[in-house]
Amino acid sequence: MAAVLIFLQIGTGLLLKFVYVPTPLGAYKSILVLSHSVMFGRLLRNIHHWGANFLVLIIFLHMLRVFFTGAFHPPRQFTWVVGLGLFSLVLTANFTGYLLPYDQLAYWAVTVSTGMLEYIPVVGGLLQEIIRGGNEIGPATLNIFFAIHTAVVPMGLIILMAFHFWRIRKAGGLVIPKAPGEEIEERPNRVPTMPNLLLRELVVTVVIIAVVMLVSVSFDAPLGNSANPGLSPNPTKAPWYFAGPQELLLHLHPVFAVFIIPLVLGVALMGIPYMKYDTDAAGVWFVSVKGRRITLIAAVIVIIAAPMGILADEFLIDFVARLHGVPAIIGNGVIPFALIFLGCAGFYILIKHRYSATSSEVVQAIFVLILFVFLILTITGIWFRGPGMKLTWPF
Ligand code: HEM
Ligand code: HEM
DSSP 3-state of 238: coil
DSSP summary character for residue 114: H
In the predicted structure, residue 319 carries a pLDDT above the cut 60: no
Over residues 110-119, mean pLDDT = 90
* Furthest-apart CA atoms within the chain: distance in Å: 70
Smallest CA-to-CA distance from 236 within 107, 85, 365 is with 107
Closest ligand 1 atom, residue 151 Cα: 30
Closest ligand 2 atom, residue 171 Cα: 40
Confidence of residue 395 (pLDDT cuts 50, 70, 90): confident
pLDDT of amino acid 322: 61
With a 6 A CB cut-off, is 242 part of the ligand 2 pocket? no
**How is 47-112 classified by DSSP, letter by letter?**
HHHHHHHHHHHHHHHHHHHHHHTTTTSTT-HHHHHHHHHHHHHHHHHHHHHHHTT-BHHHHHHHHH
Domain coordinates in residue numbering, the chain:
1-175+203-221, 263-395
Report the C-alpha gap between 188 and 207 in whole angstroms. Answer: 29
Strand partners, 226: 103
pLDDT of amino acid 188: 66
Over residues 190-203, mean pLDDT = 93
Report the C-alpha gap between 151 and 14 in whole angstroms. Answer: 10
Q: What is the pLDDT of residues 229-248, one digit of tens each?
A: 999 998 888 889 999 999 99
Report the C-alpha gap between 285 and 180 in whole angstroms. Answer: 8
Q: Which ligand is nearest to the CA of 15?
A: 1
Which residue minimizes the CA distance to atom 27 of ligand 1? Answer: 10
Report the C-alpha gap between 101 and 20 in whole angstroms. Answer: 9
Q: Count Cβ atoms below 10 Å from residue 35 Cβ, excluding itself.
A: 18
With a 6 A CB cut-off, is 62 part of the ligand 2 pocket? yes
All residues at 6 or more sequence positions from 99 whose CB lies less than 8 Å from its CB, including other chains:
106, 107, 110, 137, 141, 142, 145
Report the C-alpha gap between 69 and 79 in whole angstroms. Answer: 14
Q: Determine contact, residues 61/1, Cβ cutoff 8 Å.
A: no
Q: Determine contact, residues 385/391, Cβ cutoff 8 Å.
A: yes
Over residues 342-351, mean pLDDT = 90
With a 6 A CB cut-off, is 14 part of the ligand 1 pocket? yes
Report the C-alpha gap between 257 and 333 in whole angstroms. Answer: 8
Q: Which ligand is nearest to the CA of 54?
A: 1
Size of the chain in residues = 395
Q: Which ligand is nearest to the CA of 171?
A: 2
Q: What is the pLDDT of residues 200-229, one digit of tens each?
A: 999 999 999 999 999 999 999 999 999 999
Report the C-alpha gap between 5 and 9 in whole angstroms. Answer: 6
In the predicted structure, residue 253 carries a pLDDT above the cut 90: no
**Would you say the pTM of this structure is higher than 0.75?**
yes
In the predicted structure, residue 52 carries a pLDDT above the cut 90: yes
Which residue minimizes the CA distance to atom 39 of ligand 1? Answer: 101
> For the chain, what is the mean pLDDT?
92
With a 6 A CB cut-off, is 93 part of the ligand 2 pocket? no
Which residue minimizes the CA distance to atom 16 of ligand 2? Answer: 62
Report the C-alpha gap between 146 and 355 in whole angstroms. Answer: 52
With a 6 A CB cut-off, is 79 part of the ligand 2 pocket? yes
With a 6 A CB cut-off, is 59 part of the ligand 1 pocket? no
Confidence of residue 47 (pLDDT cuts 50, 70, 90): very high
Report the C-alpha gap between 393 and 395 in whole angstroms. Answer: 6
pLDDT of amino acid 212: 98
Q: Which ligand is nearest to the CA of 174?
A: 2
With a 6 A CB cut-off, is 291 part of the ligand 1 pocket? no
Which of the listed CATH numbers 2.60.40.1120, 3.40.50.970, 1.20.810.10, 3.40.1010.10 matches domain 1-175+203-221? 1.20.810.10
Handedness of CA 8, 14, 15, 19 (dihedral sign): positive
> Which H helix or E strand runs over 127?
helix 124-132
Lowest mean pLDDT among 134-143, 239-248, 335-344, 357-366: 335-344
Confidence of residue 321 (pLDDT cuts 50, 70, 90): low
Report the C-alpha gap between 364 and 362 in whole angstroms. Answer: 5
pLDDT of amino acid 254: 87
In the predicted structure, residue 105 carries a pLDDT above the cut 60: yes
Percent of the chain with pLDDT over 70: 97
In the predicted structure, residue 179 carries a pLDDT above the cut 60: yes
- The better pLDDT of the pair 178, 373 is held by 373
Q: What is the pLDDT of residues 348-394, one digit of tens each?
A: 998 988 889 999 999 999 999 999 999 999 999 999 999 989 999 98
